[in-house]
Structure 1
Amino acid sequence: MIAAAIDRLRLFNFGELLRHPGRTLMSGAVMGVSAALIVAVLSISGSVTGSVDKLTKGLAGTAELEITGITDAGFEQSLLPRIAATPGVATAVPMLRGTLGAGPDRALLIGADQTIGALGSDLAGPMSQYTTKLLGTERGVLVGAAMGLREGDPVPIGAGTAKVAAVLNSEATDRLNGGHVVAGPLPLIQLLTDRVGKLDSVQIVVKPGTDVATLRSALTEAVDGRAVVAEPSLRTAQASGAIQIMRYSTLMSSAAALIVSAFLIYNAMSMAVAQRRTTLSLLRAIGGKRAPMVRDLLVEAALLGLIGGAIGAGIGALMGRFAIDRLPAAIVQSVEARTEFQVPNYAIPVAITACVVATVLAASIAARQVYKVAPVEALAPVEASDAAATSTVLRWVALAAGVLLGAVAVVIAFLDLGRLSLGAITTSFTATVFLCFAATGPIVRGSAAIARWFGAPGALGATTLERAPRRVWATAMTVMIGVAAVVALGGASGNMVTSATDSFQSLGDTDLYVSPSPAEQFPTGPVLPDGLAARVANVPGVERVSPAQMAFATLGSGRVMLQGYPPSTSDTRLGAVDRAVIDRMERREGVVITRDVARSLSLTAGDEITMPTPSGDRKTSVLQVIPYFTAVSGVVMMNLDQMREWYQRPGETILSIHYAPGADPDAVRAAVRAMVPQEMHVDTGAAMVDAISSSVQQGAAMSNMILWIVVLVATVALLNTLMLSVLERRRELGVLRAMGTNRKFLLRSVLAEAAGIGFIGAAIGLVVGIAVQYLATVAIGHAMTIDIVYRPSPLIAVYGAVALGLALLGSIPPALRAARMPIVAALAVD
């Protein structure tokens, strides 16, 4: 029985795939595109979280808990004896962790003592192996193979210099930041970084038989809120939050491509059924059962999805590798580890499974149209039979489902669910498909009416459209989704970029900024040299200097960015904060938080918030909840002196400089540049705004690129449908040619069909796109915690026209084929 099934598949299914290489290649290609997009998106987010996870495991070894600093200022080393003395702790391994350099030269700096051997980690072995060299070399450190240094070379660290005692081989440091690592004795690293008596991490090796949850509670009590006690995987979870928005937006665009591809597979399977109609009817006439035929078609579709998905997955990995180097700098900066490209274990199986499921579902609908008719009816044109008629009950069910899903989409969009609000976009597209299925009749009639505008050729095309309602509906949906996705998601993305840029425009009111980071990165550290603010204030032409400090900190189970300012109503950086609240911030009465922080901690203005700090838990009031662009993390604003005191982080990480009236900007900037250390960055306010805007646009560009790929897939779908129309009517076209119809008439007839489907699909797409853009704008506003202004772009019509134009390109090959079809060959079809 199995052998018979294999023979049947080989003769009637796989053989057909080989006999029609064009259709097979086209169907596999669209599934390949969908798989490639899914793998690329998952690889980008997986590379960020995977790199952090890899580094975390490489350092933690057998540690089951980790105590980390609340900010990069770490915590007091005096807590170490209390931590080590906690019952259940076998070994407490202290570490100092930091970064050296920036960009491609960025490296991880580690300081550890002799207890690191208890971890059995990737770093423990090398540090134990080279103990003699480390102790025998003055200020000796170990460096990874990727650093490009040799034994004896100097290594600048902080304000001092160390010397390479040994170079670790690539195998030893593979899991340690890709070999970009510098490790040395804890006291030396503390001295060089001017952090004597400070720690960033304590890895906890647990005694056998100890309950980890109980030990965690005991350690939390031991550190008295001055550090965070969690599993080492907390770092990975925090890194995942930094990339989440980009992952959601790109996955939605990839899902649109997969949906369009499914409609195309439906048409491809319909084409396959149409071409095999004679064979299938004969098999039914001699006693063939419906079930095996349906199964064979589904197996054929699954094979298409499997092959296309597998090939696309490989291409997607290459796409992800290309894109990983173009991540916005703010995202890369927000995680400790260097982002190394890696394809997550789940990415390829998920992509291939999605492609197989999509092809099988699409093929099952196509199979149902043919195999539910009697054998004699199978000899008739597929769409002309009663099988093509849509059940009235099914239409009413689709209408009810569409209305219900539409209402759900509106509710999800307007409820402030954070990133979950983005689900409204997918839900609204699904609702549209159901509603359009219920309106199949009007859509087909509208397509036919448009085709008739083209005269006699259009009348012939209109008749053909009316005979194939389901195929017309499926193709119109592909065009609709392509146009709607570009208009809705592209428009909402543009609204987000515009609103985000507008929210930072006030930064341009400051003449000059000095920070340790480039303009496109958050100025989270290191702190500027002592006394720099005072020296800059004395530069001729400088009216005033306003210091500020930013730092990433752990709050709850996530991370926030602390922003400390000297509260002043004239400070443009506090533009979103009420004037009365600024006065209260100056009196240290509380803090201002962004919407996402308020949502995650269930807080509102007036509530009390507990903030863990290196100086212990601090309770204060929430003065205001503000909208603020927070793609990477939430924000807590407070008084600068309060932040310095609570988080034991003196100094500032950025200076805002205002010129005196009449001062020469170029001269003042040159004087400030000469005053500031060379490694520090001096940027104008306009440059700061441009850099932030570019980072936002960079994050949205990938999503927009995927949307245009969706449009190209829709182009292939229209080509597929019209090619099916031509193949179904070969005898009819042959008769027309034999009666004297010229080639130009037939060509115009097929083009009229394309115009009918394309225009109706584009019109629905424009209407749906404008509506979904509004919902998407609201949803993205909740996800990004910013007030996004809905602006229907005047380019909407242009987007729709371009998308329609690309889709209509798919009509040219089948139109030419119809016009050039030999009369004798066409008449001999049956």
Structure 2
Amino acid sequence: MTGRFWAALSRLRLFNLRYLRAHPARTVLCLSVVTVSATLIVAVIGIYGSVGGSVQRLSERVAGDADLEVTGRTDAGLDPSALREISRTEGVRVAVPLVRSPVDVEGERVLLFGTDASALELGSDLSAVVRDTSRPAADRTPDQAAANGSVLLGPALADRVAGREVIDIESMTGEHSTVPVGGTVTGGSAGRVNDGAYVVAPLRLAQDLSGLGARLESVLVLADPGTDTADLRRRLTQELGPQAFVADPAFRADQADDATAMVRNITLLVAMMALAVAGFLIFNTMNMAAVERRGEMASLRALGARQRPIMRDFLAEAVVLALLGAALGSVLGYAVADAAVGSLPPAITDSVNASIELAMPGSAVPAAVVACLGAGVLASWLAARRVSRVRPVEAMRPADPMDLAEGRTAGRTWALVGALLLFVAAMVVAAAFDDARAYGSGALFLLAVIVLGYALVEPLCRATSRTAARFGAVGQLAASSVDRAPRRVWATGMTVCLAVAIGAATTGASQNAVDAASANVSTLSQTEFVVQRSPADVLPVRPLLPATFGRQLAAIHGVNRVTAGQFTYLNLDEGRALLQGISGPSNSTAYQLADPEAQRALLAGSGAVVSRTFAKEHGLAKGDVLTLPTARGEQRVRVADVVDYVSVDAGLVAISLHRLTEWFGPDGASYYEVEVAHGANVASAREGIEHLVREQPYRVNVLTGHESVDATKSAVRQMGALALVLQWVIAAVAALALLNTLMLSVVERRRELGILRALGCGRRYIRRMILAEAAAVSLVGGGAGIVVGTALQYLSTEVMSEVLALDIPFRVTPAALALAVGAILVAMAGAWPPARRAGRLDVIQAIGYE
């Protein structure tokens, strides 16, 4: 076994690696496209995995050895009696009260931590922070801080508020406090908790600063040794009732993953499509290499080499390229993810209470390696199979590198059947699933297109040949070249087709989604002004504005009506849902899309309007009874209507504001809709609103209804921005594929080109001939790509409609067609270097080339 291994290694070094070194340009091009594909895969997984990974990392650094975490159903937290009940439960060793709440410190969003001495039992970084701050080295101990009502700052805030004796802290519930600074947290663990961006306070002070009052944000539970955690979780759930949500401390990471799943899956699908284009380049390269090495392989066969070792050696060459590309791509992908994590859109980052830092999932690099290896081996298998079957006699005659010889009719028939089956499979997957699995239908569809292209290789090549012939005399020569190498033309044309199709489909589907989201929230444009504390490009979940602020708005001259609304997140066993409270007639989506009877039931507190996503997840329909777990026990409300609503979590539940504050709390509003009286001066009313805003001790944003709609559209575009960038990368990959194929074509036809030069063809004529061939391939492949891309856009739009539970109409957008034309031009640009090289061929050397 060892002898065979070393023999195979020697053959790989002597024949395969030497060949790669002898053709550096070809090797670098092939390696580059594999590297790009691996980079995209690692970057996509790293970027979106960092959201959940950062939350997971923070949970571990706070919870430490905790087995369970008990938290409130919403941000309102837990009643303090829950701590006593948890402590008395059999199997609980330690119950650690905790405040972990986002607050604004001098305009910067950070975390506020509050706990007591029991946190030392957690064995976490937070425990170390609590322990280190009690040492004499600290400016003041926690006891001193408690006595003086002061807080301790994390190291990331030290420079920002250096020398300050007091700081301003704004809670998410609307309270504004000025507190003394007791010092800066020191110690080795200080910078590891939330990247040092936090404030530590004694438990009671932290409750006040966070707006919780006497309530707790959560309780961390350490179980007795040998206790069954699942059983303890069940007993705690029964003991505490519906007011509490009992889960593993990592539940926030799962919620963060759910919030990014949609964007991550779409973007990753585009990255995998780029890998398919890379596979075509490997296919092209390996087939050309097989032709160039026919004599070498035939000689090995004549010397007694068997077919199987030759095939394995050829595949090993592809494996080497794939592994090198995956290794380089992993390094570059890590760098890209690191640079992009800080640029994630606020619509994603604001929904998690953690400092987002690069947290590369362990699956990123293995996924890239497996994907690149799979693409490399599958793409080169046909070439390896063909070259291993070369007989010495056959090697004496020249052959078309992409010759469709024996059995091609049967092969095309089987390909046609396979394409039909794949198309059917794509439709079945799209219809059978309404979650992330449905996105697999797009990959099946593209695979069906590839197989169909193989079945229709002769008609496609005839179309390419006729297109080339229209370019005059140079086109006639280009057409003859196309006719002699049908499979090479097919592979290159399909590469361009896929690049254009992916670009057109991604752009079109993204624009359709933006248009649908815009139409979904367009009701907000009927509102004169929306007043909220959160920025325009994030959902106004927090911070809250006090109820008194709404009354002050209503007192402004020219204001006819002020409608308060509040958003909060509701923790459910099936996932986190968005909860909305509405105080009166509103222009918000959930209210406006509901029928009049449902609107009346909602405001009366007897009904709820839910999104299609929520209804789908919970098996609800109009008229059903919805049970909500609250601090006041389980509350039942009738589903008055089911509407479309754009959300990234487990959907929306809209109820009356007084029910929300009664069942969940706290009082206040995330936003106020301001309606100006008929005939009143809108500019004067705005001036009055902005004057009131300037008097507040915190920042308040005043938006028009149209600005609010535009902000939603911008947020949707931001979430799909990476996928749109990837499609241009794919277009560049297609240009590389065309460059590589035409460069190989020039090398293969050096003798033919030399003879043409000897017969009087000028350098410019030769360049125009190569460019005519490239133009024909790009135009036919691009035209097919527009057709395929339109069909793929339709399929993607239907899938997104089901997955997002949102009606997304299909429309062919001008932007998608413009991008498709741009991709064709990029692919054609890849033909210039080989055309230039062909024009510079030395006549004597070219005629003597073998």
CA shift at 1:410, angstroms?
A: 2.5
The answer to whether structure 1 residue 740 and structure 2 residue 760 are counterparts is: yes
**Contact between 2:442 and 2:795, CA under 8 Å: does it hold in 1?**
yes
Q: 1:8-19 to 2 correspondence within 5 Å? A: 8-19=11-22
- Aligned residue for 1:537? 554
**Contact between 2:44 and 2:267, CA under 8 Å: does it hold in 1?**
yes
Against the structure 1 CA distance between its residues 88 and 459, is the aligned structure 2 distance closer, same or farther, given a 3 Å change threshold? same
- Aligned residue for 1:392? 409
Indicate the RMSD between aligned Cα atoms, in angstroms: 2.1
- Aligned residue for 1:457? 474
The answer to whether structure 1 residue 521 and structure 2 residue 533 are counterparts is: no
Could you tell me which of 31, 35, 38 is aligned with 1:35?
A: 38
CA shift at 1:415, angstroms?
A: 5.0
> Which TM-score applies when normalising by structure 1?
0.96
Structure 1: any 5+ residue segments left out of the alignment? Answer: none
CA shift at 1:778, angstroms?
A: 1.1
Q: What is the aligned length?
A: 830
- Aligned residue for 1:410? 427
Measured in 2, the distance between the counterparts of 1:781 and 1:552 equals 24
Q: 1:186-335 to 2 correspondence within 5 Å? A: 186-335=203-352
- Aligned residue for 1:144? 154
Could you tell me which of 481, 492, 498 is aligned with 1:481?
A: 498
**Contact between 2:66 and 2:122, CA under 8 Å: does it hold in 1?**
yes
The answer to whether structure 1 residue 125 and structure 2 residue 145 are counterparts is: no
The answer to whether structure 1 residue 681 and structure 2 residue 691 are counterparts is: no
Q: Letter of the 2:169 partner, please give it.
A: I
Cα displacement string for residues 105-149 of structure 1 (whole angstroms, at most 9, x for unaligned residues):
321111112211121111112213433711023123332111125
**Percent of aligned pairs with the same residue?**
38
The answer to whether structure 1 residue 96 and structure 2 residue 105 are counterparts is: no
Which range is displaced more, 807-816 or 767-776?
807-816
- Aligned residue for 1:134? 142
- Aligned residue for 1:606? 623
- Aligned residue for 1:769? 789
Structure 2: any 5+ residue segments left out of the alignment? Answer: 136-140, 171-175
Which range is displaced more, 363-372 or 218-227?
363-372
Which range is displaced more, 485-494 or 409-418?
409-418
Cα displacement string for residues 451-498 of structure 1 (whole angstroms, at most 9, x for unaligned residues):
222234333322322222222221111011001011111111111111
CA shift at 1:215, angstroms?
A: 0.9
Measured in 2, the distance between the counterparts of 1:104 and 1:719 equals 52
Measured in 1, the distance between the counterparts of 2:129 and 2:832 equals 66
Could you tell me which of 604, 629, 633 is aligned with 1:587?
A: 604
**Contact between 1:372 and 1:387, CA under 8 Å: does it hold in 2?**
no
- Aligned residue for 2:722? 702
**Contact between 1:74 and 1:614, CA under 8 Å: does it hold in 2?**
no
Q: Letter of the 2:168 partner, please give it.
A: P
Measured in 1, the distance between the counterparts of 2:749 and 2:675 equals 76
The answer to whether structure 1 residue 112 and structure 2 residue 110 are counterparts is: no
SS for the counterpart of 1:131 is coil
CA shift at 1:652, angstroms?
A: 1.6
Q: Letter of the 1:145 partner, please give it.
A: P
Measured in 1, the distance between the counterparts of 2:396 and 2:683 equals 84
Which range is displaced more, 272-281 or 694-703?
272-281
Could you tell me which of 140, 153, 165 is aligned with 1:153?
A: 165
Cα displacement string for residues 91-114 of structure 1 (whole angstroms, at most 9, x for unaligned residues):
111112211228993211111122
Q: 1:675-824 to 2 correspondence within 5 Å? A: 675-676=692-693, 677=696, 678-824=698-844
The answer to whether structure 1 residue 652 and structure 2 residue 664 are counterparts is: no
Which range is displaced more, 817-826 or 3-12?
3-12
**Contact between 1:506 and 1:573, CA under 8 Å: does it hold in 2?**
no
SS for the counterpart of 2:720 is helix
- Aligned residue for 2:173? none
Q: Letter of the 1:477 partner, please give it.
A: M
Could you tell me which of 339, 355, 363 is aligned with 1:346?
A: 363
Measured in 1, the distance between the counterparts of 2:35 and 2:83 equals 54
Which range is displaced more, 437-446 or 54-63?
437-446
Cα displacement string for residues 346-370 of structure 1 (whole angstroms, at most 9, x for unaligned residues):
2122213322221122122222233
**Contact between 2:403 and 2:485, CA under 8 Å: does it hold in 1?**
no
Measured in 2, the distance between the counterparts of 1:235 and 1:186 equals 22
CA shift at 1:242, angstroms?
A: 0.6
Measured in 1, the distance between the counterparts of 2:849 and 2:534 equals 71
Which range is displaced more, 412-421 or 397-406?
412-421
Measured in 1, the distance between the counterparts of 2:271 and 2:304 equals 44
Measured in 1, the distance between the counterparts of 2:575 and 2:104 equals 26
**Contact between 2:288 and 2:401, CA under 8 Å: does it hold in 1?**
no
**Contact between 1:388 and 1:470, CA under 8 Å: does it hold in 2?**
no
- Aligned residue for 1:55? 58
Cα displacement string for residues 147-181 of structure 1 (whole angstroms, at most 9, x for unaligned residues):
12558732333432333334223731343111111
Cα displacement string for residues 494-526 of structure 1 (whole angstroms, at most 9, x for unaligned residues):
111112112222212111122121111221123
SS for the counterpart of 2:633 is coil
CA shift at 1:674, angstroms?
A: 2.3
**Contact between 1:151 and 1:164, CA under 8 Å: does it hold in 2?**
no
Could you tell me which of 79, 82, 86 is aligned with 1:79?
A: 82
CA shift at 1:76, angstroms?
A: 0.7
CA shift at 1:295, angstroms?
A: 2.0
**Contact between 2:66 and 2:221, CA under 8 Å: does it hold in 1?**
yes
Measured in 2, the distance between the counterparts of 1:360 and 1:261 equals 12
The answer to whether structure 1 residue 622 and structure 2 residue 646 are counterparts is: no
Measured in 1, the distance between the counterparts of 2:151 and 2:362 equals 35
Could you tell me which of 547, 550, 554 is aligned with 2:567?
A: 550
CA shift at 1:214, angstroms?
A: 1.3
Measured in 2, the distance between the counterparts of 1:247 and 1:695 equals 15
Measured in 2, the distance between the counterparts of 1:510 and 1:804 equals 44
Which range is displaced more, 669-678 or 538-547?
669-678
Against the structure 1 CA distance between its residues 687 and 103, is the aligned structure 2 distance closer, same or farther, given a 3 Å change threshold? farther
Measured in 1, the distance between the counterparts of 2:587 and 2:710 equals 22
SS for the counterpart of 1:605 is coil
CA shift at 1:594, angstroms?
A: 1.1
The answer to whether structure 1 residue 641 and structure 2 residue 658 are counterparts is: yes
**Contact between 2:590 and 2:645, CA under 8 Å: does it hold in 1?**
no
CA shift at 1:711, angstroms?
A: 0.8
**Contact between 1:549 and 1:654, CA under 8 Å: does it hold in 2?**
yes
CA shift at 1:264, angstroms?
A: 0.5
Q: Letter of the 2:221 partner, please give it.
A: I
Cα displacement string for residues 695-721 of structure 1 (whole angstroms, at most 9, x for unaligned residues):
111112211110011011011111111
**Contact between 2:66 and 2:222, CA under 8 Å: does it hold in 1?**
yes
Q: Letter of the 1:238 partner, please give it.
A: Q
Measured in 2, the distance between the counterparts of 1:102 and 1:22 equals 56
CA shift at 1:254, angstroms?
A: 0.6
**Contact between 1:568 and 1:583, CA under 8 Å: does it hold in 2?**
no
**Contact between 2:563 and 2:586, CA under 8 Å: does it hold in 1?**
no
SS for the counterpart of 2:665 is coil
Measured in 1, the distance between the counterparts of 2:249 and 2:402 equals 64
SS for the counterpart of 2:190 is coil
Which range is displaced more, 712-721 or 525-534?
525-534
**Contact between 1:330 and 1:521, CA under 8 Å: does it hold in 2?**
yes
**Contact between 1:511 and 1:684, CA under 8 Å: does it hold in 2?**
yes
Against the structure 1 CA distance between its residues 155 and 381, is the aligned structure 2 distance closer, same or farther, given a 3 Å change threshold? farther
CA shift at 1:527, angstroms?
A: 2.3
Against the structure 1 CA distance between its residues 570 and 249, is the aligned structure 2 distance closer, same or farther, given a 3 Å change threshold? closer
**Contact between 2:753 and 2:838, CA under 8 Å: does it hold in 1?**
yes
**Contact between 1:545 and 1:658, CA under 8 Å: does it hold in 2?**
yes
**Contact between 1:511 and 1:657, CA under 8 Å: does it hold in 2?**
yes
**Contact between 2:505 and 2:792, CA under 8 Å: does it hold in 1?**
yes
**Contact between 2:507 and 2:815, CA under 8 Å: does it hold in 1?**
no
